[in-house]
Amino acid sequence: MNGRIPLRPLARVLDARRRGENPDAIERENLRIRHEQMRDKARVRAEGRLLVLGLVFFCAFVVIGLRMGMLAQSQAEEPRAAASGASIIASRADIVDRHGRVLATNMETHSLYAHPHQMIEPVRAADELMKIFPDLDHERLVKDFTNPKRKFMWVKKKISPEQMQAVHDIGEPGLLFGPREMRLYPNGKLASHILGGASFGREGVASAEVIGTAGIERYFDEELRDPARGGAPLELSIDLSVQAASERVLSSGMKLMNAKGAASVLLDVHTGEILSMVSLPDFDPNDRPNPPVSGRPSDSPLFNHAVQGVYELGSTFKIFAAAQALELGLVKPDTVIDTSPPFKVSGFRIGEFEGHNYGKQTVEGIIIHSSNRGTGKIALAIGPERQQQFLKSLGFFEPTGVEISEAQSGRPLLPKRWTDLSTVTISYGHGLSASPLHLAAGYAAIANGGHKIQPTLIKQDGPHYGPRVLSERNAASARHMLRAVVTEGTASFGDVPGYHVGGKTGTADKPKENGGGYYKDKTITTFATMFPAEAPRYVLIVTLDEPVETSGSRPRRTAGWTSVPVGAEMIGRIAPLLGLRPDYDVPEEEEVTLVRN
């Protein structure tokens, strides 16, 4: 069937016997022929294999030659060894301030893990580790180290070089180290709410993925881990020196005014850049605490009061009503409005702070004296629909959109029904809750000549103006009113020698947590300011949570006594850092008395 010739064919054997020949010769002859055929086939097969092998070697030498030629033509470069575990490690770009000073960088460190089945003295190892890492659970260590089924366990995800050497000295072969990269914040708590923090994602014994958990780190997580950046750092708008000075002043002011929390925002009114943003209490991103599992989120140091905290910002809103009325042509700065009682809206009596009666006042006087009734009458002339449109154009209806992950939770709280009463109360900062950053963006529109701006934490290359919301003339009139508030009105403690400051105070009773009205002895105080007042470059917002000034005979909780002095101290400290030269008012020549020594 397979075509092979039999060694002893019957016909030939019979024929050989008839002729008297030996049939075995036939078998030997056929066997010889078969062996020759097999040898010929093997030779052909071997020659084919040698040909294929020769072609493979020829191609390999061609490829190697071409590669050597390419390397000879390329520029010499030091080779880099491939890191173990490169499949999950990604170098994270640095974060720097506007002047290139490092805010976040990477540091090579090690992890500590154990192979309990390789340990010689597990109990002694646990005892020695407790001396190096007192925060470990000794009972748990002993249990894991002596468990015959346990093959692997983490001991510490990050250890210092000193701790690594101390573990080395234990001399236990079952304690092993793995290289990894960790995120380092060299300035500690400075700008902690902006940076947020980072942690490990996917982990292996030889490497670990560093991912952002909050703030800028989380918002730009993919960009910071993108190899296409080529190691280029992320440049923020923050000025490290200004941020440090702001935190120091605000922390001191918070303690001096006995406040439980505080926030400040410094904004460039032309570019929208945030030069400093502070929230207190703060934390160290190198050792970021765990989120709270009980109580109010705002009590946690992780809570960003400048962005997440939405508050009724009180009389700081009054300038918006005045500016809109000027824009609509309803009033002029010298238009007189009667602020005398009574003034009722929808059956509710609108009063003044401590029952004041300011009588007939100009629009500018209403802002200077911070009259609720005067502002409410201006707001009624504007009307609910137009008021909503104006506040929406300033950004008070949406989160600020600033580049930190927590920004989306800072959504303003708006009234369910925007009635005439809502229009009046919102005009003096009650009934609408927004963050200090919202307020900074709103004041920036007045300061820069009437353009909306988008707050940003990323360094810009020049002015970035949005749509116009006020005319230049009416924005200038509003700025003049804010300057008068400092020189003549409720923010008299806000005047800074050498720097002309304009601003507005805001004191709002703090609402109760269960929604049942307001506390009588707890306030949120705000000082919204811009400087230099004649041609503002910066807006500063300072907010204190439950401040109490106790130097007098009775406790004082208004912004004029709490937030304003803190804001003035901050401006005096940071203005020189911003390159602003003091401009002292020089008396007229005839007022100068010449004295001969």
Distance, in Å, from the CA atom of 409 to the CA atom of 89, rounded to the nearest integer, reads 31
**CA–CA separation, 318 vs 379, rounded Å?**
9
Q: How far apart are CA 137 and CA 140, in angstroms?
A: 5
In this structure, what token pair is assigned to residue 571? 């401006």
Cα distances from 590 to residues 498, 516, 586, 594, in angstroms, run 22, 62, 11, 10
Burial tier of 10 (Cβ tally within 10 Å: 0-12, 13-18, 19+): exposed
Strand-pair category, 344-345 with 348-349: antiparallel
CA dihedral of residues 153, 157, 163, 164 (deg, nearest 10): 70
Catalytic residue among 207, 246, 279, 315, which?
315
| Contact in structure between 539 and 316 (CB atoms under 8 Å) | no
**Can 315 be counted among the known catalytic residues?**
yes
Q: Go through 330-366 and write b for each residue having 16 or more CB atoms within 10 A of its CB, e for each that does not.
A: ebebeeebebeeebebeeeebebeeeeebeebbbbbb
**Beta partners for residue 543, in sequence order:** 263, 526
What are the DSSP calls for 334-395, one per residue? Answer: T-EEE-PSP-EETTEEP--GGG----EEEHHHHHHHT-HHHHHHHHHHH-HHHHHHHHHHTT
Known catalytic residues? 315
